[in-house]
């Protein structure tokens, strides 16, 4: 019987030790059992080389077999399968933030000039950003955008990005008026499988499912919610009769509008403050409408039984902020009990937590869930997480 085979139960792969034993037995059947085929002998080592080559081929065959389904495919194989459903694997994204530069009028700050956050704790590594375009100071100031130099959720709280690293004569200061929009790491296989599963709604005849799936596949869109009011009266969310309200976080206006045009139902009223025109095949212009989610800043206070070091405080703050950002959804409440999940990932602290307070304003005192409006999304940042004492 073949050592590697496929039957009704799936793929059965021979392991290296099985291949080694089978080759040894086959050669002994030819030359006799008195031949030295121990691993230390030249013949034994040659058998080991052949066994490893065959085992590698077995592993490749198993990967090819598993790669034929989304459940077993990994990496590039899964990405190629997802393409068959029109789903493109999301690459890593960089945090971005608006900046205001100051200095001598006429000073030119080239694209790629580096800026860092001001950190008073020597154990905290500053976040480094770079200007995305060349900026010229007019009347001593210029506004632009900076992008993190590394992909992923790089934090920069409002006013903290204030240290110019690139030395340029005439450039004296920089600041960010708002928190950075966090980037993300490359989409994992698990996340891609989930998106691919949702993509089966793309050709659906249910308008809401189809529109939700289409908007979810738009490049750089992070979150989507689609609401419908099928009744003859205004509903509890304030939507007018027979209307839809798409709420989209991220993505370009042109791509979002095109997705809405393709999937929206005929004659329905679209609700939204953001508008973008699209042109149909007859050359007529249609205005698409949607909303972006309102940000609800989340504040957390973690009280410890005893003082912890600066590095541990930073680890707790980042863990809560990163987990909150990763799990946030439009209209999704912040569950108080879930805050203990990221805290528990910081070694040695979970048993020292006295209390965790949660709210939408500084200094929260509540141990209840934070309710998020249907058209809003929770926004986390490590600067809004306080660890005491």
Over residues 49-92, the pLDDT tens digits come to 999 999 999 989 988 888 888 888 888 888 888 888 778 888 88
pTM greater than 0.85: no
Burial class (CB in 10 A: 0-12, 13-18, 19+), 39: exposed
Q: What is the DSSP letter of 386?
A: E
CA angle in degrees (0–180, nearest 5) for 233-378-115: 135
Strand pairing of 385-388 and 221-229?
A: unpaired
Assign 27 to helix, strand or coil.
helix
In whole angstroms, what separates CA 236 from the centre of its chain?
32
- pLDDT tens for 173-226 read 999 999 888 888 888 888 888 777 766 655 555 678 888 888 988 888 989 999
Q: What are the structure tokens assigned to 383, written together?
A: 């600067």
| Strands of 179-298, DSSP E | 221-229, 243-250, 269-271, 274-279, 285-290, 294-297
Strand pairing of 299-304 and 385-388?
A: parallel
Q: What are the structure tokens assigned to 238, written together?
A: 């304030």
CA 87, CA 19: separation in Å to the nearest integer? 39
Ranges for all domains in the chain classified under CATH 3.30.300: 202-290
CA 387, CA 389: separation in Å to the nearest integer? 6
Average pLDDT value for the chain: 90
Q: Provide mean pLDDT across the span 329-357.
A: 93
pLDDT value at 120 more than 80: no
Whether 301 contacts 356, CB under 8 Å: yes
CA 322, CA 154: separation in Å to the nearest integer? 10
CA 231, CA 252: separation in Å to the nearest integer? 31
For 363: left if phi > 0, alpha if psi spans -120 to 50, otherwise beta; the answer is: left
CA 111, CA 129: separation in Å to the nearest integer? 11
- Architecture per CATH, domain 202-290, reads as 2-Layer Sandwich (3.30)
């Amino acid at each position: 019987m073949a050592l590697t085979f496929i039957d009704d139960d799936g793929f059965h792969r021979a392991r290296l030790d099985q291949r080694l034993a089978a080759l040894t037995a086959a050669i002994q059947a030819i030359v006799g059992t008195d031949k030295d085929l121990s691993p230390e002998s030249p013949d034994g080592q040659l058998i080991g080389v052949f066994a490893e080559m065959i085992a590698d081929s077995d592993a490749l065959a198993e990967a090819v077999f598993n790669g034929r389904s989304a459940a077993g495919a990994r990496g590039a194989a899964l990405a190629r399968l997802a393409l068959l459903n029109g789903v493109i694997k999301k690459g890593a994204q960089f945090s971005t933030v608006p900046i205001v530069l100051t200095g001598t009028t006429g000073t030119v700050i080239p694209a790629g000039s580096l800026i860092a956050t001001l950190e008073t704790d020597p154990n905290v590594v500053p976040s480094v950003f770079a200007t995305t375009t060349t900026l010229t100071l007019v009347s001593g100031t210029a506004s632009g955008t900076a992008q993190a130099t590394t992909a992923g959720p790089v934090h920069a709280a409002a006013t903290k990005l204030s240290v110019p690293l690139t030395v340029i004569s005439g450039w004296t200061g920089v600041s960010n008026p708002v928190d950075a929009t966090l980037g993300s790491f490359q989409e994992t296989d698990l996340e891609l499988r989930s998106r691919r599963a949702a993509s089966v709604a793309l050709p659906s005849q249910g308008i809401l499912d189809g529109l939700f799936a289409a908007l979810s596949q738009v490049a750089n869109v992070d979150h989507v919610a689609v609401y419908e009011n099928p009744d003859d009266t205004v509903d509890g969310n304030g939507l007018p009769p027979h209307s839809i309200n798409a709420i989209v976080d991220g993505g370009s206006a042109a791509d979002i509008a095109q997705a809405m045009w393709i999937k929206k139902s005929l004659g329905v009223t679209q609700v939204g403050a953001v508008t973008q025109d699209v042109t149909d095949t007859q050359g007529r212009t249609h205005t698409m409408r949607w909303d972006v989610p309102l940000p609800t800043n989340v504040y957390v206070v973690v009280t410890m039984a005893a003082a912890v070091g600066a590095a541990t405080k930073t680890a707790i703050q980042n863990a809560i902020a990163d987990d909150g950002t990763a799990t946030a959804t439009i209209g999704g409440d912040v569950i108080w009990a879930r805050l203990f999940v990221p805290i528990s990932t910081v070694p040695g602290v979970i048993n020292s937590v006295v209390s965790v307070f949660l709210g939408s304003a500084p200094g929260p005192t509540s141990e209840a869930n934070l309710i998020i409006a249907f058209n809003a999304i929770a926004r986390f940042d490590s600067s809004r997480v306080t660890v005491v004492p």
